[in-house]
Amino acid sequence: MNGFNRALLVLTGIVGLLSVSILLLGVYDVPQLTRYTDQWQTQDWYIYTILTIGIFLAVIFLIMLMTGLVAKPKPKRYTIQTGEGRITVSKETIEKTVYESLKQFQGLRTPNVNVDIDSKRERVRVFIDCAVFNREGLPTLGKDIQTHVKERIESLMEVPVADVTLHIHDTKLKTSERVI
């Protein structure tokens, strides 16, 4: 979030809290302030103050509503800044590369790949959830999968991979399995 947006949020928060405080003083009796609020409420401009506060809050909430309805999340991409310009690699491209690299391992079923991209820290994390059918030496196989996926992404796409998390589950699940 840039500085302007932060300053705008802080200003809006302060004005909103002051507005709510003024509205609450009109409703609740505070012993030290009751005399002043009673005098203020008898003034002609009291109604205009309440209307202005109400309009201000309505506009703020309307902006929040429209932002929530209209705003689209930024697509997940890995951005590489080069001397000639900017290169972006989408999350789907990295996931497809992982699926392609998993094809070399026999007995993998129902792979589910999720990629977490953090462009600011320049790192990519890969999460793989799969079942293994008719294989022995699962820790060795898991390490081979992790190493292969990491090397494949880094060599093919030149994207640094922070870590590859692999979860191997039971093959006797009652779901339909996709064989690679």
Query: Whole-model pTM above 0.75?
Result: no
Q: Kindly list the strands in the beta sheet with 161-169, ordered across the sheet, starting from the edge strand earlier in the chain.
A: 108-118, 123-132, 161-169
Q: What is the mean pLDDT of residues 85-90?
A: 81
Residue 75 binned pLDDT confidence (cut-offs 50, 70, 90): low
3-state DSSP helix/strand/coil percent for the chain, to nearest 5?
50, 25, 25
pLDDT at 179: 53
pLDDT at 161: 87
Least confident of 81-90, 153-162, 164-173: 164-173
**Nearest partner of 96 among 153, 39, 173, 31, judged by Cα:** 153
Higher pLDDT, 28 or 105: 105
Q: Is pLDDT of 177 > 80? A: no
pLDDT at 126: 92
As a CATH number, domain 77-169 is 3.30.70.1350
Q: 144-173 burial, b if ≥16 CB within 10 A, otherwise e?
A: ebbebbbebbeeebebebeebebebeeeee
pLDDT at 178: 55
pLDDT at 118: 76
For residue 132, what is the DSSP state?
E
Q: Which two tokens stand for residue 23?
A: 């509205």
> What percent of the chain clears pLDDT 90, i.e. is strictly above it?
8
Q: What is the mean pLDDT of residues 151-158?
A: 84
Whole-angstrom distance, CA of residue 116 vs CA of residue 119: 10
Q: Is pLDDT of 159 > 80? A: no
